[in-house]
Amino acid sequence: MPTLLYFLSLSFSQKYPPVKFLSEKDRKRILITGGAGFVGSHLTDKLMMDGHEVTVVDNFFTGRKRNVEHWIGHENFELINHDVVEPLYIEVDQIYHLASPASPPNYMYNPIKTLKTNTIGTLNMLGLAKRVGARLLLASTSEVYGDPEVHPQNEEYWGHVNPIGPRACYDEGKRVAETMCYAYMKQEGVEVRVARIFNTFGSRMHMNDGRVVSNFILQALQGEPLTFNLSSAFVSKLLSSDLVNGLVLLMNSNISSPVNLGNPEEHTILEFAQLIKSLVVSRSQIQFLPEAQDDPQRRRPDIRKAKMMLGWEPVVPLEEGLNKTIQYFSRELEHQANNQYI
């Protein structure tokens, strides 16, 4: 290794996670919108460790600096406090467009803002992609399928969405975002990739995410009853590290049509509650609650396209992913307890 490189890697090795050296030809300038959020921060870690230059743009609505603070000061990393609803002028090669609240309590908190983020925000990022000739990957969602009438859902299914229901700001916002991607592709020649992401869990999830994994783990850790709505009868969950690998494979593939990324392994919600209860070794009870409005009964990805065209499928066993997430939530509870009087 040339002397200068040796000293550079040595000086960074103490402070930052290990970063591969990439030649200028292979190193990309990558923008991650929503990069301080749950999925975005794991994607930041992967792309930084792979040796790219990463710019995170986030308005910290649901994201937090703590998720990416371990990169602050690194020469390949930049964090910009910016709302994608406003135009953004930077020079990049690839855009992972993740900015949008993702969990129902978060996206329902301010539905108009959720709509603006997914529509105007996506338009701005496509405008940016067009100007600089960057490729854009949209983090879309299985919620574009709404409350599906077919199982499992493949990418050909058009969905069953209530346009005026409580989830519409998100579902319809993402559907328009997809429409915008293909309009920019056809009309302006922008290279787009669309990942339809199914429910994902892992460390750095929000404590108030409101979905089964975080609810059950927190309830089990705190000895409270594990509560759930009867309507969400089945769950399938993908671990964030598997998702992030899929996103990077998709971005660097030549597939411009939508691709499902999810875990087809399905469990009843009761099985899930029992599994988490046993992994936490908790004495919590299991309790049913009334149904929530428009909560889909069941969503399960057909991932044959991702398997065939990307060679991708989830590889981390569910229990291993859950154990890591349980450890994360225990640390977060400890952190909260230690900081409550500061």
What span, in angstroms and rounded, lies between the C-alpha atoms of 143 and 172? 9
Question: What string marks each residue from 73 to 92 as x (binds ligand UDP by CB under 6 A) or -?
Answer: --------------xxx---
Residue 170 annotated in active site: yes
Which of 2, 192, 210, 223 has its CA nearest to residue 97?
Answer: 192
Q: Does 139 bind ligand NAD (CB under 6 A)?
A: yes
Residue 31 binds ligand UDP (CB under 6 A):
no
Report how far residue 236's alpha carbon sits from residue 198's, in angstroms, rounded to the nearest whole number.
8
Query: In DSSP terms, which residues pair with 261 in a beta bridge?
Result: 197
Closest among 284, 277, 283, 267 to 318, alpha carbons compared:
267
Q: Is 84 in the site for ligand NAD (CB under 6 A)?
A: yes
Residue with tokens 């991708």: 312
How many residues sit close enough to ligand UDP to count as binding (CB under 6 A)? Answer: 9
What is the smallest separation between the CB atom of 206 and ligand NAD, expressed in angstroms? 6
104, interface contact from ligand UDP, ligand NAD, none, CB < 5-8 Å by kind: none
Query: Which is it for strands 267-268 and 234-235: parallel, antiparallel or unpaired?
Result: antiparallel
Binding flag, residue 136, ligand UDP (CB under 6 A): no
Which residue in 48, 102, 126, 169 binds ligand NAD (CB under 6 A)? 102
Which entry of ligand NAD, ligand UDP, none binds 123, CB below 5 to 8 A by partner kind?
A: ligand UDP
Instruction: Dump strand ranges (E) for 121-212.
Output: 135-141, 192-197, 200-201
> Which of ligand UDP, ligand NAD, none is residue 68 near (CB under 5 to 8 Å by kind)?
none
- Indicate the DSSP class of residue 70: G
Which residues would be at the binding site for ligand UDP (CB under 6 A)? 87-89, 123-124, 127-128, 130-131
Which residues are catalytically annotated?
170
